[in-house]
Structure 1
Amino acid sequence: MRFSNFRRPAGVLALATAALVGLSACVSSTAAGTKEEDSAAVEFPTDNITLIVPYGAGGPTDISGRALAQDLEAELGVTVVVENRPGASGITGLSEVAIEKADGYTLTYTTGDSFVQSELRDGVPFTFDSFLPVAGTISQPYVLVTGTEGVADFEALTKKSSVTYSTTGNGTPTHLNSLMMFDELGIEATQVPFNGAAESTQALVGNQVDVAMLDASVAMPQINSGALKALAVLTPDGEPLDYLEDVPTLESLDIDTSAMTLTVWGVAAPAGTDEAVVEILREAVLAAAEGENFQEFTQANYMPLLTEEGEADWYTSLQETAKTSKAALEKFGISLT
């Protein structure tokens, strides 16, 4: 999945005042052979909205979701309640949303990886068709880092016969991306999986593992403090990061990143939600993504907005991500339970 680093939209997608209390949509065409269609008026929202985050409190999904909810309240004129439903790489929370009433009042804000799990694991009680995409929001570059006792640079890493690396969990993007990189380099690599970015990072800071591929939002505070050193970056567009301009991209190091994936966040509703309601929500989410609270969070945490193209394709791109991730699991003989 490839997205550009930053979005510079022509203008904020403002939600019309009338849409806050009701939408009267009229679909018409002047082309020959078509006829005018009038959709029924939709009064939405008239009650509070629940935004389910299928990860624990305090992580990037939770914090960014709460920032988005604040600006979303201003757009919709109702309270947006964020509820955490952590468990099973996002499966627990999404399973709940999938069976909720499709009325637009229960949504999910989550990473693309949680949707992809439906294609990677057996017995997941939802598919991509269980949801309607509302809007994509942000992406996250990855930084390959090492501890204070680690290798000097990426070239030094390539000369090692074996390495250990920490990940945020078995079968996660940080795991699969690392596997692909080490496989191409011909390095024997041993994964040390943890239950999230915090534990994975601490193992690296403590020099218990050689390297790790971390979200920029997680890696940068440690890099700035001198606890970690950046070796390379994986970016949405293959270009260097402006805040790590001297650190090479994996692509510039001749690493094939075409099958690697980046984390992307978005809002989705249960399948069957009225299209007019989804459109109201979409306009509101895109406007909220430009809001003060969400912008403050994304800029402080190195999480750029999706480009217009990336936003338009964010959900369909996840289905391609599922295919490449599944192929990687099969190639490396990884079974997820």
Structure 2
Amino acid sequence: MIKRIFGAALAATVIALPAVAEYPDKDIKLIVPYGAGGGTDTAARLIQPHLEKVLGSNLIVVNMPGAGGTIGATNFAQTKADGYTLAFLPAGTAVVQPHLRKLQYNESSFEPVCRTIQEPVAIMVGPESEYTTLDKLMAAAKAGKVSAAGSAPGSFPHIGAVLVQKNYDVKIKYVPHEGGAKSARSVLGGKVDMLVDNIGLAAKFGIKALAVLSDKRAKSMPDVPTIDELGGPPIRLSIWWGLFAPAGTSAAVLDKLASACAEAGTSSAYISSVKAANKTPNFLGAGKFKALFLEQYKANATLFQEIGLKKK
């Protein structure tokens, strides 16, 4: 009797194995919640061919732009968790927007698979600014003389300005702009004093980065010190992009995706392509990426509550 039960169980296991081993056996849809040609779309298409090579299946990019990425993310959160619909999300859509809008997704809606790109965030001023050091800038902010450019409230530049204000106990006037380019131009022209945003804007627009909000210098601009090196508070902020599966995806499929992402995201070919696109490759595996995702989601909820930024 025992032998028959064991034999049946073993047979069931053997029968079940091919279903896992065969994944994926058809095309995979990759939802990108922004339009073609934008930053998120570019980042997704950089990893796409390398994942296809490892997985042995096509990844079909489907752009679903609108409402700060929330239209695509909402659609993704409601999809079948079978591994055949994934999403490539930026940090703002994943860990910021749910605190600003009443949405049909939250931190429990997604399974982080891997982070592929992370852009350092820096405190920047104009090339002719009188605030040539971070100390001078913060001294002026202490006296209430500093303004900061950035996108709409709740954006990463806004979060950055709030974190600087909070950690340095200073007063900064926030001036919303329509995107990073217009913000950088305002700083370049001296209309606004500072900008806390992607450090790549410094080289692109000719503005000066005073400090990186990280414990490590940016590889793209290694001469810019970290805020820690300058004796400032350990403010941490970065802009990232990553691959997600829907909540409820089986462990076997998640493991397969995580393994594929690790191989693709650390390959020399992928890293070279990212650098050629003037982006910063920074792979993070499933476990650490999930911890980062949840940590930032919780931190933003607390921060927005403290500053009175409510959902619309």
TM-score, structure 1 as length reference: 0.78
**For the residues of structure 2 that align with 1:293 and 1:58, how far apart are their CA atoms?**
21
Q: Report the CA distance between 1:68 and its aligned residue.
A: 0.5
SS, match of residue 64 in structure 1? helix
Q: Report the CA distance between 1:313 and its aligned residue.
A: 1.7
CA RMSD of aligned residues (A): 2.5
Q: Report the CA distance between 1:285 and its aligned residue.
A: 1.8
Q: Do structure 1's residue 139 and structure 2's residue 114 form an aligned pair?
A: no
SS, match of residue 128 in structure 2? coil
Q: Report the CA distance between 1:52 and its aligned residue.
A: 1.2
**For the residues of structure 2 that align with 1:57 and 1:51, how far apart are their CA atoms?**
13
Q: Do structure 1's residue 265 and structure 2's residue 244 form an aligned pair?
A: no
**For the residues of structure 2 that align with 1:167 and 1:204, how far apart are their CA atoms?**
10
SS, match of residue 128 in structure 1? coil
Farther-moved stretch of structure 1 (261-270 vs 239-248): 239-248
Q: Do structure 1's residue 280 and structure 2's residue 280 form an aligned pair?
A: no
Match of 1:113 in 2: 92
1:167 is aligned with what amino acid? G
SS, match of residue 129 in structure 1? coil
**For the residues of structure 2 that align with 1:61 and 1:204, how far apart are their CA atoms?**
25
SS, match of residue 187 in structure 1? coil
Provide, for residues 180-199 of structure 1, a one-character-per-residue CA deviation record: whole Å limited to 9, x for no partner.
21233343212222343333
**For the residues of structure 2 that align with 1:321 and 1:270, how far apart are their CA atoms?**
19
1:169 is aligned with what amino acid? A
Q: Report the CA distance between 1:293 and its aligned residue.
A: 5.3
Give the direction of change, closer, same or farther, for the CA distance of 1:180–1:124 in structure 2 (3 Å limit). same
Match of 2:54 in 1: 75
**For the residues of structure 2 that align with 1:168 and 1:294, how far apart are their CA atoms?**
30
**For the residues of structure 2 that align with 1:55 and 1:219, how far apart are their CA atoms?**
24
2:217 is aligned with what amino acid? P
- Paired residues of 2:95 and 2:297 also in contact (CA < 8 A): yes
Runs (4 or more) in structure 1 with deviation over 4 Å come to none
**For the residues of structure 2 that align with 1:291 and 1:312, how far apart are their CA atoms?**
19
- Paired residues of 1:91 and 1:117 also in contact (CA < 8 A): no
Give the direction of change, closer, same or farther, for the CA distance of 1:164–1:54 in structure 2 (3 Å limit). same
Work out which structure has the larger RCO, using CA pairs closer than 8 Å and 6 or more positions apart in sequence. 1
1:254 is aligned with what amino acid? G
2:262 is aligned with what amino acid? L
**For the residues of structure 1 that align with 2:97 and 2:179, how far apart are their CA atoms?**
20
2:152 is aligned with what amino acid? G
2:38 is aligned with what amino acid? G
Q: How many residues align?
A: 294
Matches within 5 A, 1:4-153: 38=13, 39-42=16-19, 43-117=22-96, 119-150=98-129, 151-153=131-133
Match of 2:266 in 1: 290
Give the direction of change, closer, same or farther, for the CA distance of 1:334–1:253 in structure 2 (3 Å limit). farther
2:299 to 309, 314, 324: 324
**Which has more radius of gyration?**
2
**For the residues of structure 2 that align with 1:229 and 1:273, how far apart are their CA atoms?**
45
Q: Runs of 5+ in structure 1 lacking a partner? A: 1-34
User: More helix per residue: 1 or 2?
Assistant: 2
Q: Report the CA distance between 1:214 and its aligned residue.
A: 1.9
- Paired residues of 1:68 and 1:293 also in contact (CA < 8 A): no
Match of 2:231 in 1: 254
**For the residues of structure 2 that align with 1:246 and 1:231, how far apart are their CA atoms?**
10
- Paired residues of 2:107 and 2:297 also in contact (CA < 8 A): no
**For the residues of structure 2 that align with 1:110 and 1:206, how far apart are their CA atoms?**
33
SS, match of residue 247 in structure 1? coil
